[in-house]
Every structure is written in C-alpha cells, then in structure tokens.
Structure 1
C-alpha cells in the first residue's frame, strides 16, 4: 500500500493522518480540506473561540504536517470518486490515485426551510469564518435570536450573554436539549440560562422570518413577533454524504460502515460525523454521532484499519458541553433506559445513572461546576464498556466510589 487519501480535513481526518504515521505507515498521505485553513478544533467556535474572535485552535502547525510527511491540500474539494480506477477528482482539476480512501467529510448545519444560508442577518455556525461573522455582530445591546435549543444554540446563547447581547432562544420541541439529555438536567440548564437573562421559548413554531436592512423579525404561529439584529440557526446537522452517494456507496443516516468503519467498498472507509455505524454497547444498533470524542476515536480506529488491522469499534459515546460555569458530560446513550438512579455529588453537581431492563448500566449523565463530574463520568464510561450491572443503592450513594464498583 503506497497512498492513503483522506477527504475531509477536520478533527477526524487530521487525527487519522497523524495516527497512520504513529502506527508506522510509511506510504504517502494526502489530506484534502475545503477550508483555506489547516485543520482546527470546532468545539471552541461556540465558546471561547467565539468570545475572543481569535485564530482557531489548530490541531497542529504546518511544520508538524511537514515533519510527518502529510500533504495537506487546503481550499480544495473532492468532486468525484472513480472506484474502478481508484482515483479522486479535485475541484482544481487534479486527480489523485489512492490505494485506500477515507471519507471524513463531516456534516453541515441544517438550513431553516425557505431561508438562505448565511445571508445578511441570518447566520449558521460551522466554520471559523462563520464564528468571526457572528462575533462581529455581537456587541453589548445586540438583539440575538437563536433558533434551536441544542448544545450549539445554548452554548452560543451563553457566549452572547457574556458579550452583553440580549438573547432570545427558540426551540420547537417542549424542552431544550431533547436529544440525548435527560429532562432533569435539561431543566437545570434552562433555568441557569433564564437566570442569566436568556429568554427561552419552547414549543415555538416559526411562521416566517423577515429580513430588513436594519434588522430581522421572527413571526411565530401564535402571532408573537420577535425583533432581532442577528438570527443564528442551530437546528441540527446533516451528514455530508453526496460524494459517497454519487460513488454508489451504501447510505443509511450517513455513509453506512461496518464495525471496522469500512463502507460497501472494501478500499473505502468513513469516519466521524458523516458515517453511521453499529454501536457494540447498545446491541449493535446503528447510530451517527456528532461528537468531538467520536471523531478522535474513529480517527484512531480508521488509521489502523486502513493499514489492514481489522479492529472493531469498542468506545462508548461521550459528549460534553459548557454552560456558563457548569460542564455537562454524558457517557453512553440513555434512550431505552428502564430505570434512572440519581447521585448527588454536592456543590450543585449531580449524576444520573441509566439502567436497562436487566440492570445493566447503559449511560450516565452529569452536570456540575467545572470538572466536578468528570472523574465519575469517566468511571461510568468504563462500567458501561464492561457491561456492568452495579447495585442501584451503591450508584446512589456518594460515599461509595465508582472505582470500587468497577473493581468489583
């Protein structure tokens, strides 16, 4: 094997490239990125990176790619894949032959129906350029309307309040963080935002968005109008599967891969936000995860399997979000839980343990100031991976250390 091509220069693609060298791959590596910048971390874009309007947090500097003999092509996209001749055609007219190919094409923000993407006073947040445009508009007194009460929308709301903006957040469902976050923790987060002055409107049905030269207006189905200087849409993400679809690869809520991250073509793999895969700790159900940790884990797995290792997914899903002084962390997937056990950690920190019908721990959700829940969520992650069935009374007691349950 002489040439591995990676399409997508985000977290997953960059981590794969470096992992290939760390695992001893001596052939050629080409990393293709649509943005003009070197690969960077996306989580800070809705947090400190937005507040500070600084350069992005690069995964590595140019010299490190050079030292690792990784060719990075920026500002260029892959236009097509010729599976028969194992070649990728680029937007600048070049063609790259490959021996193995990784699709790490990520995802893009879901557009609001009928509203142009990133036009004038209506924005979405995905890239560093998006963050700079939003930050330029967030001055003290700016009226910001955020559509979407998921992680991105809430993080953006918190950052905007720190910058002195007035914030209204609209969520179409009955509560914020309805995807993967227990109602008790979601209520905690919503109350913290309200104390900070964020107006949260759940069950909001938007009838129209009207943009003018001096602002924009949201009209709700119940007749309520919301005036804003800037509207940011954060209603989820869509996997970038178009390249794979045209190439004839199997698609199922993303590019469908097996437990080794291999697509329906044995020489093409996919990883990160763009792919769906069977989750071993949840009965092999097929999921697609938009998460920083997943991008890192799958980047490492993709690297060894591109080299022929044949290893399978073993990691537990893990998510985190910063909300003012609180950090929310979740290990595993709580949907399908038959019982929930609460552990009060003190100082405003709690962890909810989610058990299936057989008493097996399948997820843990925690929130607290700073890193108050980090260690125990990590131990819970290990219990989930081990298929443990811990005593619910022990889970509820803060006096009983999770490390002891893991040892048992």
Structure 2
C-alpha cells in the first residue's frame, strides 16, 4: 500500500460510510476518521424500514452503538449536512460553518426517493420512505380501517404492502407497468409475489395511470386516467431513487448515472472516492458495463473496498450484484444481472420453491433468481453467485436437475 492519508473524511453516515470507517481501522489505519451524516441518528440499516422498522420502535437498527465508534476512534458528526467540497484546499464545508480538512475523501451520499411529479416529498399525506423519521410517520397510519395507497410495484412498495397488511391496514398498490417487479425480476417470480399479495388482500392494479393527486383535509384523492377515484388515508410513493450527486457535481467531479468511479471506486479526483448507492462503476463480470446498484450488500462490499483503496490498495470491484426481499413467508433472492440472457433454465426445489438460471449467448451463467419460503433457496443462490463470479459455463441440463449438485458444477 501507499503511505496512508492521516485525515480521512467520509460524507454519508449510512451503511456504506459506517462500514468504510470501521474497515479503515480493521486494516490498521491510525489517522483521523470523521464520518458526517445529515440525519440526527448514528448510522442505521435502511432495509428494516419497510419491514420490522415500521413496528413503531423509538430507535432504528443501528450499525453500531456510540461506544463502538468511540472505542475505534471514529468521530461521528450527526445533524451535519455537507454543503460544499473545496478540492483545491482539500476541505469540506459543513452546515455549522466549519471547514474540515482531508487528505482523502469518501462520498457515500446514497440516493433519495423519486417524488411523485408535482408533489412535495415533505407532505404529511403523500410520503416517500427512506429515513427512520419517514418510517415512523407512515407507521402512524397503518391500522385497521385505514387505507394505504402505494404508488410503485418495486421492492419498497411491495415490502411496505406486506408490512401494512400485518397491521391490518387496507392496501391498494398502483403500478404503471403491466406487472410488478419489472426491474430486474423475472416474470415467473414476479407472478408468485403478486399472487401472494393478492391472497393477503392487497389490491394490485397494474397499468394504472394517475391523472392527479389532491389532498382533501385528512384524506388523499387519487384520480385515475380511466375515471376511477381512490380515497386513501395515506399515499406512499415508491417509484425509484435518484443518486445524491449534487455535492460531487458542484465540486466538478464526473457524473454518469451517479458519481462516476473507476473499478477501484476512485472518482475523477485521485483523492476522492465514492461508494454505495450514489456511484456508478464498471463491473468486470459484465465486460466492464457501467452500472449503479441500490442494494444493502453492495453498500457493505463497497464500503470495505473503498477503505482498502483509500489506503492505496488499488483493489478492483470483484463482487457479484446480489439482492433480496422478504415478503410474508416468501424470500426472493437474485445474484447477478440477467440483461443479455438468451436461455433460462428452471430448477424446482420442492414446496413451490424454484430458481431460474440465466445464461448468455456463450453459455456463461450471468444471473440466478429464486423464490421460496424461509431459507429454501439461500444455499443454491449462494452457489450460483460463486458460479457467476468464476465465469462458469455449466451444462443447462445439469442446472435444471436437482440430481446434480451445484457444488459439483462449481468444482468442474
């Protein structure tokens, strides 16, 4: 490694930023570490916000407690928004007017929910879900006799629908496309998820077009293009996220569907790195295609990788994209990216659980998608992830046969 910097500042106190801070210590770095977050909380995990985090807890699920940060010598600044980066002076300006100097800087600024056009994300009745405060406000409306309207049939919307039904709220989910989970989830798996929601009483309406949303007292009126009207107690918008790039863009860093980084997570400034939801990066497993991931595992992996490279390791991104979602008793997991697949092979695992393997034109396994109850698919998805990372071209018939273990294909 090169000689390490003696002042590292991390902007963004989420999963990625916190993971990077602790990884720096684990790798032997002894200099100053300052972790800056705009929220009043210590870094916490966001996946629970659409699930158990809606149970009304006073505190979020923290990545670590205050004592652990103190023991590691990590200074955490909360309620401190970073307003500007001065690359020449190597300082960041925070909201209390102070300038903090750095030798190396990590941007882990995450992403923000995309608001419904024409509506403020701060409305009390038309909300988004990204922070603990937003989850707490949504929870107040989840009760029998209340109707929750969810706009968007992606992971967030469906997980929220599942949680809302547990609290007894009625749920209508409006999706503009022909099916739910249209981004990155095979149709066969999306159909299983949709049917499970319908069995639980969720009213899923696909191909829904919204003409207008208007707040009327304590209710929200949603006017649909087909003339239908929906009156809800709360509307939650889950139509995607926008990477938080304003700070980087104002500093003159390259932007390309997020803060553009190379395979080591370095930005266009050699002393500034970016990681997590906010950055786009070339992925070697997919011929250097530039992608951006909004995923818990990616935030962890890139936090660790960024820590190594802030210290001069020059390690490249090697992890395979991985996503998961829990809804009712179902677990959905996806390893890899299925774009470019020309052949899909199904492996049935029993009790309704199955995995779809996606291969490209050369026969290389590029993705695996599975669904089942509990941990039914976890082991095989993990082995599929290893097959993808190894660039394997397994026999399609072997992939579809439960008589042949995936571990054997990995060893072949």
Q: Do these two structures clear the TM 0.5 threshold for a shared fold by scoring above it? A: yes
Structure 2 partner of 1:349 = 353
Q: What is the distance in 2 between the residues matched to 1:229 and 1:51?
A: 19
Structure 2 residue 92 is matched with structure 1 residue 84: no
- Aligned to 2:140, what secondary structure does the other structure show? helix
Q: What is the distance in 1 between the residues matched to 2:326 and 2:56?
A: 16
Structure 2 residue 270 is matched with structure 1 residue 266: yes
Encode CA deviations 1:231-286: one digit per residue, 9 max, x unaligned.
Answer: 00010000000000000000000000000000000000000000000011111100
Structure 1 partner of 2:249 = 245
Structure 2 partner of 1:330 = 334
Alignment length (residue pairs): 408
Query: Per-residue deviation at 1:48?
Result: 1.1
Query: Per-residue deviation at 1:118?
Result: 2.8
- Structure 1, gaps ≥5 residues long: none
- Aligned to 2:280, what secondary structure does the other structure show? strand
Q: What is the distance in 1 between the residues matched to 2:339 and 2:172?
A: 29
Structure 2 partner of 1:171 = 175
| Aligned counterpart for 1:218 among listed residues 219, 222, 232 | 222
Query: Per-residue deviation at 1:336?
Result: 1.2
Encode CA deviations 1:344-370: one digit per residue, 9 max, x unaligned.
Answer: 000110000000001100000000001
Structure 2 partner of 1:67 = 71
TM-score, structure 1 as length reference: 0.99
1:73-152 aligned at under 5 Å gives the runs: 73-152=77-156
Q: What is the distance in 2 between the residues matched to 1:399 and 1:141?
A: 50
| Aligned counterpart for 2:307 among listed residues 303, 309, 328 | 303
Q: What is the distance in 2 between the residues matched to 1:212 and 1:323?
A: 32
Structure 1 partner of 2:384 = 380
Q: What is the distance in 1 between the residues matched to 2:185 and 2:207?
A: 17
- Cα RMSD after superposing both structures: 0.7
Asked if the contact 1:53/1:131 (under 8 Å) is kept, the reply is no
Q: What is the distance in 2 between the residues matched to 1:336 and 1:224?
A: 39
Encode CA deviations 1:210-232: one digit per residue, 9 max, x unaligned.
Answer: 10113111111111111101100
Q: What is the distance in 1 between the residues matched to 2:351 and 2:284?
A: 35
- Structure 2, gaps ≥5 residues long: none
| Aligned counterpart for 1:7 among listed residues 8, 11, 27 | 11
Structure 1 partner of 2:374 = 370
| Aligned counterpart for 2:190 among listed residues 186, 196, 199 | 186
| Aligned counterpart for 2:362 among listed residues 352, 358, 364 | 358
Query: Per-residue deviation at 1:54?
Result: 4.5
Query: Per-residue deviation at 1:137?
Result: 1.1
Asked if the contact 2:50/2:159 (under 8 Å) is kept, the reply is yes
Q: What is the distance in 2 between the residues matched to 1:78 and 1:216?
A: 35
Q: What is the distance in 2 between the residues matched to 1:87 and 1:213?
A: 47
| Aligned counterpart for 2:205 among listed residues 196, 201, 204 | 201
Q: What is the distance in 1 between the residues matched to 2:352 and 2:67?
A: 44
Structure 2 residue 231 is matched with structure 1 residue 234: no
Q: What is the distance in 2 between the residues matched to 1:52 and 1:93?
A: 35
